[in-house]
Structure 1
Amino acid sequence: MAIRLTRDTSREPALPGLNGPVRVDRRTKDLTKRLRPGDIAVIDHTDIDRVSGEALVDRRPAAVVNAGRSVSGRYPNVGPQILLDAGIPLIDVDDDTLMDRLKDGARASVDGAVLRLASGETVAGQLWDTAMLAETMDEARASLSQQLEAFAANTMAYINEERDLLFDGVGVPEISTNMLDRHVLIVVRGYHYKEDLAALRHYIREYKPVLIGVDGGADALVEAGHRPDIIVGDMDSVSDSVLTMGAEVVVHAYRDGRAPGVARVEALGGTPVVFPAMGTSEDIAMLLADDKGATLIVAVGTHATLVEFLDKGRAGMSSTFLTRLRVGSKLIDAKGVSRLYRTRISSWSLVGLAIVCLLSLFVALWATPTGQATLQLLGARWDDLWALVEGLLT
């Protein structure tokens, strides 16, 4: 019988500051899958975007230590502000070797702008505060014009490379799922996707659209109580359990044919469809729905504004801009639909309405001989029930 020995870390001397195990990963979205409340998150993320900021806040780490620049000044990214608003310390550390030196799970603490390791090593950094962040954001807004020029250049490059796909649908693969003359709902794990999916539950029940999950968006559909019909993406953030639920899988490949996601799908027993294209996975999901005859495309959690395109941190986001122009006549963006309308009817108003309806029914019944007879019969039944209750009590 094998005996497993574990170290009792509870007896180790506590370090000053906020204590916890460090969780290390260069990919923030991979780190958040295993991050636990009280952990110290160590990331390498230049320009923390809104989705990453919200994902980190949901996990409630003790602190976030960033080996990259949380705000580079390219554009006003909102991820750091989300962390500060949640009361989570954010420290930038200018050390290229930090990620390699830290061992996942090792005990550490954050004391001000200093990361202290149980080994005795200390790593000093820059602790962000609200005033510093506001000043940096003002400088970043001044740089938006340069980013707009770069965005326009990327847009022209995408047109030159993908004009046949964008305008004529050349290269769109054949799939087995029927979308002809149907609504299609595309879900990306983006801004407010949970709230918007909840607001669309009646629409999904009534219209039964084809449900497409873009990578982690497939998990979002399952979490909301739905089964995806198609999963589109490079398969780096969708779970194994969702991949094996029977949905048709379309793997987003590079233009040269490389498709790292194919091996994972095949290892799980699936037979994926490969879609080589530039741009993002949400783009090819929209192009696929448009090419296969969808009458309406409803997008949840996708990117719609210039800052959101830049927030994604990819030159390929210009493809999303052009794809939206391509399918614009069919596209409905569900972003913020959960905040569009909230009921103003109070509970007391509903109670009052019910009482008025009952009184109206009573008057209508009393106005006819048949109704009077019915009311008398109900009164007799009530007398019998009341007599029975009195008998039991006495």
Structure 2
Amino acid sequence: MKLSLRRNRTDALPGVTGPVRLDRRTKNLTKRLRPGDIAVIDHADLDKVSAEALIDAKVSAVVNVAQSCTGSYPNLGPGIIADAGVPLVDNVGDEVFTALSEGDTARVDEGIVYRDSEPVGKGIVLDRARVDELMESAKEGLSTQLEAFTANTMEFLKRERELLLDGVGVPEVRTSFARRHALVVVRGYDYRQDLAILKSYIREYHPVLVGVDGGADALVEAGYTPDMIVGDMDSVSDETLKCGAELVVHAYRDGRAPGFARLEKLGLEGTPFPATGTSEDVAMLLADAKSAELIVAVGTHATLVEFLDKGRSGMASTFLTRLRLGPKLIDAKGVSRLHHTRIRMWQLLLLLAAGLLAIAVSIAATPAGQEWLDVLQARWDDFTYWIQETL
């Protein structure tokens, strides 16, 4: 999608003009955005999922009060926005959140943010060339991030070794996973494409459908009803929560579970699952502990950059969960490569033969069919007699 710079029709001023939407949490902001809005965010190291959500909302510009790439690692978000042709003004400063209010009309031009004719903030425009420079520099920070990753991994293993090694702490649930596949859907990397290519797999295997927070909405959008919803319950719609799926609330280790407050307002019940890891890891560990034969992951994190995009606090649990599950865990793209519904030539020939046989039986079993057979027999006799006379 390419968005061209729009000009204000009233005063013909250059740049991009539109209503302002602000939020410190990008995932909350994307729920309120409308096409043409100017999104004001506070998002250091803008990740891929958040960038794609902003693009999907068809914003006219993105203003980040923080650094979209701090240099810690080569994060993917800025490049996605730059490739979409959406102006990204970086490192504008926190005062923009004070100077602008929700719904104000603002203008963005050459890195300057205006309210009416007054400049309220200035940043750096990140075009593709500038993003490439930042990504190249950020690669140098990977060694530091790997050191932090190692330390976090050891700390997480100390806290959650009983859960990871023995499944201690996994709650009892009514959904049966035994001898079934589990499809765990996260509204993350390429989740729409993954769900689309898994249609035949879902139809044939009928896996347990597990939505992780917004992943439950993704299942509903794709035409499915989740069997279970796991997470903090902060980024899934009320309608999906009421779909009848079993609800498992990801809680802190001390038992606190903010997600229950929302369920109580909706008159719903849920089962707590105290764990330090992320909600997607909790969902996978639950499916594994309940004897799922195979766990297929949609929209989850797999590469080093994707782990980093999630944030260091979540990296350790994600990495160790994958080590724990081993060959039982398969990425959706791998399933699509292995699982194909193909019609082979011998199957077509068998179907054709069965059809011809059915027609022959139908003809032979009816008076009209007998008459046709007599006529065909007479014609065949005439043909063979003609051949014999000719020879």
TM-score surpassing 0.5? yes
1:23 is matched with: 21
CA distance in 2, matches of 1:129, 1:274: 45
Match of residue 73 from structure 1: 71
> In the TM superposition, what is the alpha-carbon distance from 1:337 to its structure 2 partner?
5.6
Residue 247 of structure 2 aligns to a residue whose secondary structure is strand
- Superimposed CA distance per residue, residues 93-117 of structure 1 (whole angstroms, 9 cap, x where no aligned partner): 3412322332011001111111111
In the TM superposition, residue 63 of structure 1 has moved relative to its aligned partner by 0.6
The answer on 1:45 being equivalent to 2:55 is no
C-alpha contact 2:152 2:312 (8 A) present in aligned 1: no
Match of 1:327 in 2: 325
RMSD: 3.1
2:162 matches 1:155: no
Summarize deviations over 1:133-178 as a string: whole Å, max 9, x none.
1111111111111111110110000011111111111111111111
Contact 2:212-2:280 within 8 A present in 1 as well: yes
Q: 1:158 to 1:196 in 2, by over 3 A?
A: same
Shift of 1:92: 1.1
State the TM-score, normalizing by the size of structure 2.
0.84
Which ranges in structure 2 are unaligned for 5 or more consecutive residues?
1-7, 342-347, 373-391
Task: Determine the structure 2 residue equivalent to 1:206.
Answer: 204
> For 1:82, what is the secondary structure of its paired residue?
helix
Number of the residue aligned with 2:229: 231
* 2:177 match: 179
Residues 104 and 342 from structure 1, CA distance in 2 versus in 1: closer, same or farther, beyond 3 angstroms? farther
The equivalent of 2:376 in structure 1 is: none
Report the more deviating stretch, 123-132 or 76-85.
123-132
Out of 259, 262, 267, which is 2:260 matched to? 262
CA drift at 1:261? 0.5
Shift of 1:320: 0.8
- 2:256 is the alignment partner of 1:253: no
Paired with 1:155 and 1:314, the residues of 2 have a C-alpha distance of: 10
Separation in 2 of the partners of 1:310 and 1:173? 29
> Residues 337 and 19 from structure 1, CA distance in 2 versus in 1: closer, same or farther, beyond 3 angstroms?
farther
Per the TM alignment, residue 87 of structure 1 is displaced from its structure 2 partner at its CA by 0.4
Which residue matches 2:280?
282
Give the aligned residue type for 1:265: L
**Residue correspondence of structure 1 range 296-311 to structure 2 within 5 A:** 296-311=294-309
- SS for the counterpart of 1:147 is helix
In structure 2, the CA distance between the partners of 1:251 and 1:119, relative to structure 1 (3 Å rule), is farther
Per-residue CA deviations over 1:247-305 (Å, capped at 9, x if unaligned) read 11111111121111111011111111011111100011011001111111111111111
TM-superposition CA deviations, 1:34-60 (whole Å, max 9, x none): 211111111111111111111111111
1:111 counterpart letter in structure 2: D
SS at match of 2:210: strand
**Residue 349 of structure 1: aligned partner:** none
Secondary structure at 1:262's aligned position in 2? Answer: helix
Q: Which amino acid aligns with 1:38?
A: G
Which residue number in structure 1 is paired with residue 290 of structure 2? 292
Query: In the aligned structure 2, how far is the partner of 1:336 from the partner of 1:102?
Result: 46
TM-superposed CA distance for 1:341, in Å, is: 9.7
The aligned counterpart of 2:88 is 90
The aligned counterpart of 1:123 is 121
SS of residue matched to 2:273:
strand
- Name structure 1 gaps, 5 residues minimum: 1-9, 344-353, 378-394
Change in 2 beyond 3 A, CA 1:342/1:177: closer
Residue matched to 2:55: 57
Q: Which residue of 1 aligns with 2:389?
A: none
Structure 1 residues 191, 11: CA separation in 2 closer, same or farther (over 3 Å shift)? closer
The answer to whether residue 315 in structure 2 is matched with residue 317 in structure 1 is yes
Name the CA shift for 1:237/1:141 in 2 (closer, same or farther; >3 Å): same
Aligned pairs (5 A) from 1:383-394 = none
Structure-1 residue corresponding to 2:269: 271
Structure 2 letter corresponding to 1:244: K
Paired AA for residue 242 in structure 1: T
Measure how far apart 1:12 and its partner are: 6.5
In the alignment of these two chains, the number of paired residues is 357
TM-score, reference length from structure 1:
0.83
Contact 1:22 / 1:104 at 8 angstroms: preserved in 2?
A: yes
SS of equivalent to 2:118: coil
Percent sequence identity is: 63
Q: After the TM superposition, which segments of 4 or more aligned residues of structure 1 sit over 6 Å from their partners?
A: 339-343
Q: In 1, Cα distance between the equivalents of 2:271 and 2:51?
A: 33
